[in-house]
With several copies, the nearest count.
Chain A
Amino acid sequence: MHLVTSEVLDLREVAPDHWVTTFDAPEIAAAARPGQFVMVRAGPDWDPLLPRAFSIYHADIEAGCVEILYRVVGRGTRQLATLEPGRFATMWGPLGRPFDLPETERVILVAGGVGVPPVVFLAERLAQAPMRLLGLVGASSRKFLVGVEHLRRAGAEVRLATDDGSLGHHGLVTDLLAAALQEPGQATIYACGPQPMLVKTARTALAAGVSCQLALEAPMACGVGACLGCTVPRAGGSFARVCCEGPVFAAQEIDWEAWERGSI
């Protein structure tokens, strides 16, 4: 874990309201593994107060930089998107439990909305591996489909879904998953996205008996395991902290029904 004052090297809008910020953070880049995240504070004042968690989108060990991809939805992301190159943010990480690497011949990557980053990072790390990558990417509309080129560059076949049908399958990305599971070859599923998508994906995987790892989100204060704010219900009965026991969980570790019920 490294706590750094990190310079912004680049800031670009990759889709409407979707931004990528590149930070100079060599120690974090060197340690980062797909599925992990960083905590970022973008300003010196007390509102917004808490850091925000962002999945690592790219970690370039040689260039020593870390990229995050985010959608501007509230105070934290709005503030972040004003940090032009040359400005600084405080960042700590890499945090959390990363994806376990696959041992199957096929890998299915399922991403919804701004759930793309960890899945892209994983695909890049698997680009040289001897397995077939299939990326299923969903968004509300074609203009919000991000990270697709990165998946293709990593050698993945990509199938798309949009809620409004403006590109690819007209419907949910999880619709594509059922079909993909019918195809031959043992697969491992990796998923990140909004809660309903994750719940659906987990249930599909559990029903099909396919190994599945999901990167979860929960409201976080500290990101390091201290506040107990980010808990999700474990299949066993107790609570697990998303920030340090996750964010990646295997499908069978979570009590999906309880999580659905307890969510805002």
Chain B
Amino acid sequence: MSIEPSLAVTIGGLRLKNPVMTASGCFGWGEEFRAYFDLNELGALVGKAVTAEPRPGNTGVRIHETPAGMLNAIGLQNPGVEGFIADILPRIRDLNCPLIANVPGHTVAEYVRVARRLTEAGGIDAIELNLSCPNVGRGGLEFCVAPESVAEVVSAVRSATRLTLIAKLSPNVTDVAVLAQAAQAAGADAISLINTLVGMAIDVERRRPILGNVTGGLSGPAIRPVALRMVYEVVGAVQVPVIGIGGIATARDALEFLMAGATAVQVGTANFFNPRACPEIIAGLRDWLRAHGIRDVREIIGAARPGATPAP
């Protein structure tokens, strides 16, 4: 078949030209990657976390390589929502792909304040609530584990913004599907997962934890099987679109998540070891669909779920 397949998908009010977004904290606000590809190729750009106040980030070692993965404990370094609006937003407004801001918080009020300011400022198309940042003391951590707190944050922010609202969940829980249901019930337009698994490494010669923060978030191909399983579970538990994240580095990885039922994917750590990871995944998806005679990527969303039409 020589028909150009359609890659477009919809997440809440967002129309994406393809299902590939960047993952928060792994792509800056894109400026670092302009030298490697045209950012307008992206389905959407999810930027760094934006907090109410500026944050310096953690001291000491912040990243450490692990087998097929990495640990990070950046500590949400960012100029704060006012700094973001003043200095960064004007530089990226011209982009022709949806911009999504990632918002962590310590308190419900903090989430609401940042979401409101970003909505007022304009130029941001969706808000991804980071309900699971394990790196800043107890910051955000309390919001990830109980469905009640997830619901509280989501519904408070829901009342404060008309932007598409994505709830990003922590994988460090017994039952992620229950959190997803709570987020959906509270008004989230979509669920994204997974954030990093909490991990750690020790420097044997110095006899102490390697990361300045002791623990950090594990990401990269190592966690892909866990992420895929959680996405598969959550897709079965909610009706809103799910965005799959975790270890995606190739078009084949992205296809696994789409077939598990994700409507879109985010690419995080792969940007670090391949600055062209996103455009290569987009091109690879297109090629795979074309080679399989599939005209629309939506035909394969959920294709590996029970009851889906089997492969021809």
A contact set with B: CB distance below 8 Å: 1, 3, 41, 46-51, 90, 92, 219-222, 224-231, 233, 237-239, 244, 258, 261-264
The A interface, classified by DSSP as helix, strand, loop or mixed, is loop
Contact B273 A219 (CB under 8 A): no
> Which of chain A's residues has its CB closest to B206's CB?
A264
Question: Taking the nearest CB of chain B, how far is it from the CB of A231, in angstroms?
Answer: 7
Chain B interface, >50% SS class: loop
Given known A3-B36, A231-B77, contact A258–B272 (CB-CB < 8 A): no
B117 within 8 A of partner (CB): no
How far does the alpha carbon of A65 sit from the alpha carbon of B100 in the complex, in Å?
Answer: 41
Contacts of B210 in A (CB 8 A): 264
Q: CA A205 – CA B295 in complex, angstroms?
A: 45
Are A219 and B63 neighbours in the complex by a CB distance under 8 Å? yes
**Which of B33, B69, B203 interacts with A224 by CB under 8 Å?**
B33
Chain A residue with Cβ nearest B203 = A264
B236 contacts chain A at the CB level, 8 A cutoff: no
Output the residue of A49, A225, A261 with the most chain B CB within 10 A.
A49
Q: Is the CB of A3 within 8 A of B67?
A: no
**A41–B273 CB distance below 8 A:** yes
Alpha-carbon distance between A262 and B25 when the two chains are bound, in angstroms: 22
**For residue A237, which residues in chain B have a CB less than 8 angstroms away from its CB?**
56
Chain A residue numbers with a CB within 8 Å of B80 are: none
Bound CA span A230–B28, Å: 14
Q: How far is the CA of A1 from the CA of B35 in the complex (A)?
A: 6
- B201-218: CB near A (< 8 Å → 1, else 0) gives 001001000101000000
Mark interface residues in B29-64 (1 if CB within 8 Å of A CB, else 0): 001110110000000000000000000110111111
Q: Which of chain B's residues has its CB closest to A259's CB?
A: B59
In the docked arrangement, what's the CA distance between A219 and B73, Å? Answer: 12
B68 within 8 A of partner (CB) = yes
- Asked whether, in the complex, the Cβ of A226 is within 8 Å of the Cβ of B203, the reply is no
User: Is B77's CB under 8 angstroms from A48's CB?
Assistant: no
Residue B118 CB within 8 A of the other chain: no
Select one of A51, A219, A239, A261 contacting B64, CB under 8 A: A219
Contact call A226/B272, Cβ cutoff below 8 A: yes
Q: CB distance A228 to B57 under 8 Å? A: yes
Is B132 an interface position by the 8 A CB rule?
A: no
B25: A residues at CB distance < 8 A: 227-228
| 3 smallest beta-carbon distances between A and B, as pairs | A229-B63, A1-B35, A222-B272
Instruction: Please judge, given known A-B contacts A46-B221, A264-B206, whether A221 and B32 are in contact too, CB under 8 Å.
Output: no
Whether a CB of chain A sits under 8 angstroms from the CB of B65 is yes
Interface string of B57-91 (1 = CB under 8 A from A): 10111111111111010100100000000000000
With a cutoff of 8 Å between Cβ atoms, the chain A residues found around residue B36 in the complex are 1, 3, 92
Tell whether B123 is near chain A: CB-to-CB under 8 Å. Answer: no
Within the assembled complex, what's the spacing in Å between the Cα atoms of A261 and B59? 9
Q: Which chain B residue lies CB-closest to A239?
A: B57
**Do A262 and B35 have beta carbons less than 8 Å apart?**
no
- For B35, give the chain A residue with the smallest CB separation: A1
Question: Are A221 and B63 neighbours in the complex by a CB distance under 8 Å?
Answer: yes
